[in-house]
């Protein structure tokens, strides 16, 4: 039986690692590698959407409710909020407008994502059921109190209900040809 001679292990120089981007050195799953390589090949987005949309809050600091302008349920929701917001604490913008698309980007969402109502405040954005509850806090009584109690319902349950309504809103409530608001 032949014995294999022991080969001493020598630490290799890691100077070549500094030449490669740190992302290439990371070796996990092939999915992660492919997404990393795709991000290396595409140029990073250089627009700071918070800075770009800061003019929306320079003279008027009220939050902006983004809604689907062609959805009858959403238009009804906007009318409901307007009727119950006597102090005019909320502004409105359709998701399909240029301002709406820029505010969606500011909120970290795709500009063509019309799947959720979004409430954009000067320093924060809310989506789905969180947006609805935050809007309820801005309008007249008894809605802030109702929002307080609904916060006790777990977020995953609230969002599950919200997503089911949102996914079926056109089938149940219909859609208009243009934004009514």
CATH number where 136 lies: 3.40.30
Number of neighbouring beta carbons within 10 Å of residue 70: 19
Say if strands 118-120 and 125-127 run parallel, antiparallel, or are unpaired: antiparallel
User: Would residue 36 count as lying in a domain?
Assistant: no
Q: What is the DSSP letter of 11?
A: P
59: left (phi over 0), alpha (psi -120 to 50) or beta: alpha
Structural domain span for residue 121: 62-173
Sheet containing strand 118-120, strands side by side: 91-94, 64-67, 118-120, 125-127
User: Would residue 20 count as lying in a domain?
Assistant: no
159: left (phi over 0), alpha (psi -120 to 50) or beta: alpha
User: Would residue 84 count as lying in a domain?
Assistant: yes
User: Would residue 108 count as lying in a domain?
Assistant: yes
pLDDT computed for residue 25 by the predictor: 34
User: Would residue 66 count as lying in a domain?
Assistant: yes
Give φ, ψ of 71 to 5 degrees.
-90, 125
Would you write out the chain's pLDDT as a tens digit for each of its 181 residues? 454 444 444 444 444 333 433 333 333 334 444 444 444 444 445 788 888 888 899 999 999 999 998 999 999 999 999 999 999 999 999 999 999 999 999 999 999 998 999 999 999 999 999 999 999 999 999 999 999 999 999 999 999 999 999 999 999 989 887 666 6
Total domain count, the chain:
1
pLDDT computed for residue 180 by the predictor: 64
User: Would residue 98 count as lying in a domain?
Assistant: yes
Number of neighbouring beta carbons within 10 Å of residue 177: 6
User: Would residue 160 count as lying in a domain?
Assistant: yes
């Amino acid at each position: 039986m032949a014995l294999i001679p022991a080969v001493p292990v020598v630490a290799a120089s890691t100077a070549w690692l500094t030449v490669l981007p740190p992302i290439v050195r990371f070796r996990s799953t092939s999915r992660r590698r492919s997404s990393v390589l795709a991000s290396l090949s595409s140029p990073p987005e250089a627009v700071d959407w918070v800075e770009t949309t800061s003019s929306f809050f320079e003279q008027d600091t009220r939050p902006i409710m983004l809604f689907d302008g062609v959805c009858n349920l959403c238009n009804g929701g906007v009318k409901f909020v307007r009727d119950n917001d006597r102090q005019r604490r909320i502004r409105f913008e359709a998701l399909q407008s240029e301002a709406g698309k820029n505010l969606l980007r500011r909120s970290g969402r795709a500009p063509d994502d019309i799947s959720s109502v979004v409430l954009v405040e000067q320093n924060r954005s809310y989506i789905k059921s969180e947006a609805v509850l935050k809007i309820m806090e801005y309008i007249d009584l008894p809605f802030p109190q109702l929002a307080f109690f609904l916060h006790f319902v777990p977020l995953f349950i609230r969002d599950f209900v919200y997503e089911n309504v949102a996914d079926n809103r056109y089938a149940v409530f219909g859609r208009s040809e243009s934004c009514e608001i």
